[in-house]
């Protein structure tokens, strides 16, 4: 991997206190390389958004970071400890260095302000000394980058389609030339064609501008196509972290395999979807062993009593099944292809 730009280690988050606490994130460590597209996958409720919010200190109450560290390495070689940074420095780092496009972001545009104005507002807030004419030029350029004609600058959000509004949000995220763009399900509310166009645009922009991306989605097929590396989350932990091509060719964790079997592949031969039986566990009272064991077709006695650690060097997985054989080799599982 390239030099890391973002390093998350041992991050834990609870919602609520004491016995009622929901342990939404537990001891999560993740590193994002410079220029890398990292996909974060997992079922709804596994903690993907919590990770994005916590890492950028945007966690709403009753969310509470109970441990861990998030380091950001700037272009200038400076290292920022995001969880301990004073509020004003943190505010400056957001947008400037790390930009976030949240779930349903297209609905967070101000309905009574022209989209061009909303773009220039962000730039003017962070670069107050720069003349407005420069911001306007940059706003036109940004709209062009995300595939919206610059003559849409005076449009109000309701005059744009959902896909266009989402592109405006991506343009806004790129406005200050950040190094990291975190996208939380940025395209799920859109039709598949628009979704595809936006993702392709994003990847082209990444190649052009060189930022890194954390792309959060439950659609692992989309990540196989676009991500360099994929981290799979289950019940508040990372259960597998590996290059996207290897996750596709040889998923090691049975949960990853279940996810792959739950979405139609975007390319290649059609195959029957298998889904994952059962439902994710209650995060307030997790079983003592592997959280996936109750749903796992390969669980054996050890999995019930002991929790597997994420291990394996470059190709991480948290599972007691032998690492030298793909999950597919275990009897009773049909290959993914
Ligand atoms: N305000 C809250 N109070 C209590 N529990 C919460 C709160 N917000 C989230 N949670 C719990 O934390 C867990 C992780 O939620 P999170 O939204 O991070 O998951 P996710 O993987 O991003 O899901 P989705 O894809 O649906 O957004 C869930 O079990 C959720 O019920």
Cβ of 50 closer than 6 Å to ligand 1, yes or no, is yes
Write out the two tokens for 31: 């590193």
Distance between Cα 238 and ligand 1 center (Å): 15
Distance between Cα 256 and ligand 1 center (Å): 20
Distance between Cα 139 and ligand 1 center (Å): 34
User: E-assigned strands of the chain?
Assistant: 4-15, 22-33, 37-41, 63-73, 79-81, 98-101, 180-184, 212-216, 229-234, 237-243, 316-317
CA 30, CA 38: separation in Å to the nearest integer? Answer: 10
Q: Where exactly are the structural domains of the chain?
A: 1-97+178-337, 108-176
Cβ of 218 closer than 6 Å to ligand 1, yes or no, is yes
Mutate to test the pocket of ligand 1, among 21, 45, 182 (most ligand atoms within 8 A of CB): 45
Nearest CA to ligand 1 atom 30: 45
Distance between Cα 149 and ligand 1 center (Å): 37
Q: What is the dihedral of CA 6, 8, 9, 12, to 10 degrees?
A: 170
The whole model's pTM is what?
A: 0.89
Asked whether the beta carbons of 102 and 184 are under 8 A apart, the reply is yes
Per-residue pLDDT of the chain (337 residues; tens, 9 = 90+): 578 999 999 999 999 888 788 999 999 999 999 999 999 999 988 999 999 999 999 998 899 999 999 999 998 889 999 999 999 889 888 888 999 888 776 778 899 999 999 999 999 998 999 999 999 999 999 998 888 999 999 999 999 988 889 889 989 999 998 999 999 887 776 777 777 888 888 888 888 888 999 999 988 888 998 999 999 999 999 999 999 999 999 899 999 999 988 776 666 666 666 678 888 888 888 888 999 999 999 999 999 999 999 998 888 999 998 766 555 544 334 433 3
Enter the ipTM: 0.92
Cβ of 55 closer than 6 Å to ligand 1, yes or no, is no
Distance between Cα 115 and ligand 1 center (Å): 30
Asked whether the beta carbons of 287 and 294 are under 8 A apart, the reply is yes
Which of 154, 231, 221, 165 is CA-nearest to residue 198? 165
Distance between Cα 53 and ligand 1 center (Å): 11
CB atoms within 10 A of CB 82: 22
Distance between Cα 6 and ligand 1 center (Å): 23
CA 172, CA 122: separation in Å to the nearest integer? Answer: 7
- Region class of 104: left (phi > 0), else alpha (psi between -120 and 50), else beta: left
Nearest CA to ligand 1 atom 2: 15
- Region class of 210: left (phi > 0), else alpha (psi between -120 and 50), else beta: left
Nearest CA to ligand 1 atom 29: 45
CB atoms within 10 A of CB 329: 12
Nearest CA to ligand 1 atom 6: 15
CATH topology of domain 1-97+178-337: Rossmann fold (3.40.50)
């Amino acid at each position: 991997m390239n030099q890391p730009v973002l390093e998350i280690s041992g991050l834990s988050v609870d919602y609520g206190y004491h016995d009622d606490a929901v342990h939404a994130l537990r001891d999560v460590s993740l590193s994002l390389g410079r220029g890398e597209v990292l996909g974060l996958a997992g079922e709804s409720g596994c903690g993907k958004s919590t990770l994005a919010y916590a890492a950028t200190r945007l966690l709403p109450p009753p969310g509470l970071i109970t441990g861990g560290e998030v380091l950001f390495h700037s272009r200038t070689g400076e290292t920022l400890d995001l969880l301990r940074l004073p509020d004003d420095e943190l505010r400056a780092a957001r947008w400037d260095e790390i930009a976030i496009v949240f779930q349903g972001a297209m609905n967070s545009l101000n309905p009574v302000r022209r989209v061009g104005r909303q773009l220039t507002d962000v730039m003017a807030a962070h670069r107050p000394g720069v003349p407005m004419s420069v911001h306007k030029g940059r706003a036109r350029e940004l709209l062009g980058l995300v595939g919206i004609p610059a003559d849409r600058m005076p449009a109000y959000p309701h005059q744009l389609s959902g896909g266009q509004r989402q592109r405006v949000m991506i343009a806004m995220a790129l406005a200050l030339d950040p190094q990291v763009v975190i996208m939380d399900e940025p395209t799920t509310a859109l039709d598949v064609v628009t979704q595809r166009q936006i993702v392709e645009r994003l990847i082209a922009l990444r190649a052009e501008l060189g930022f890194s991306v954390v792309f959060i989605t439950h659609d692992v097929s989309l990540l196989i196509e676009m991500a360099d590396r994929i981290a799979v989350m289950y019940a508040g932990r990372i259960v597998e972290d590996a290059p996207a091509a290897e996750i596709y060719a040889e998923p090691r964790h049975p949960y990853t395999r279940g996810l792959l079997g739950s979405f139609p592949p975007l390319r290649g031969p059609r195959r029957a979807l298998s889904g994952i039986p059962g439902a994710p566990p209650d995060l307030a009272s997790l079983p003592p062993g592997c959280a996936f064991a109750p749903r796992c077709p390969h669980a054996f006695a050890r999995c019930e009593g002991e929790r597997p650690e994420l291990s394996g060097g470059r190709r991480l997985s948290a599972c007691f099944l032998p690492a030298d054989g793909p999950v597919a080799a275990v009897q009773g599982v049909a290959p993914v292809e």
